[in-house]
Amino acid sequence: MYNKVLTMKQYIAECFGTFWLVLGGCGSAVLAAGYPDFGIGFVGVSLAFGLSVLTMAYAVGPISGGHFNPAVSIGLWVGGRFPVRKLAPYMIAQLLGGIIAASVLMAIASGKPDFDVSSGFAANGYGAHSPGGYSVWAALVCELVLTAFFLFIILGATTKQAAKDFAPIAIGLTLTLIHLISIPVTNTSVNPARSTAVALYVGDWAIEQLWLFWFAPLVGALLGAFMFRVIAKED
């Protein structure tokens, strides 16, 4: 009974954490990035994504491990840190948290008279829907490589040899750096739950291009975990 209650708390924690990530990161992009004359810009959005992960990693990380991302869960499984039996429930909880957050963000954003969800809603894209007009191949490489290093750093920061209690800081700053690099390319995903949540509201092109923001992060996570196991084999 105790184990069942603990497991359910882990799923709820993942839902809450992903909710905060999508609301904080995508919310900053939709509501504050381009606010007339004094918006926070893409640097501020990058910091918002990093802070959302950092804060929730401290808040619920001790409960669920603080994944908040299907790619992270996949990578931790490949890295030998996460049981396969919890993989699907974690991913469902993450998707649910992201979708609820996107719904709350939609409710807030639509309160502005000239709001138009088709203009982007922080959705990820390539080609004509890339902020910088980057091709599908550029987007694929970018998302794959950055997710791989994200997982590599997560695994390294959470080893027994790493400085205790500093992992959320390293992970949050890594996500900030990833956004600083790739917002112009894809609006930055490295997280299928984040991409799916807002794409469901944008529809059309965002749904058509969503495949890349599942494929590249998941493959990148596998590569990152494999690299870590080869280079930094744990006892």
Burial per residue of 160-188, b for 16 or more beta-carbon CB atoms within 10 angstroms, e otherwise: eeeeeeebbebbbbbbbbbbbebbebbbb
- pTM value is 0.92
176 vs 113, higher pLDDT: 176
- Domain 2-231 superfamily per CATH: Glycerol uptake facilitator protein. (1.20.1080.10)
Q: Tell me what pLDDT residue 33 has.
A: 81
Longest dimension (CA), the chain: 58
Q: Write down the pLDDT at residue 63.
A: 94
Residues whose CB is less than 8 angstroms from the CB of residue 164 and which lie 6 or more positions away in sequence, other chains included = none
Q: How confident is the model at residue 92 (pLDDT cuts 50, 70, 90)?
A: very high
Domain positions in the chain: 2-231
pLDDT per residue as tens digits for the range 114-151: 888 877 799 999 999 999 999 999 999 999 999 999 99
233 has pLDDT over 80: no
Nearest to 154 by CA among 143, 141, 168: 168
Task: Kindly tell me if the per-residue pLDDT of 37 is higher than 80.
Answer: no
pLDDT in tens, 190-206: 999 999 999 999 989 99
Location of structure tokens 């969503």: 210
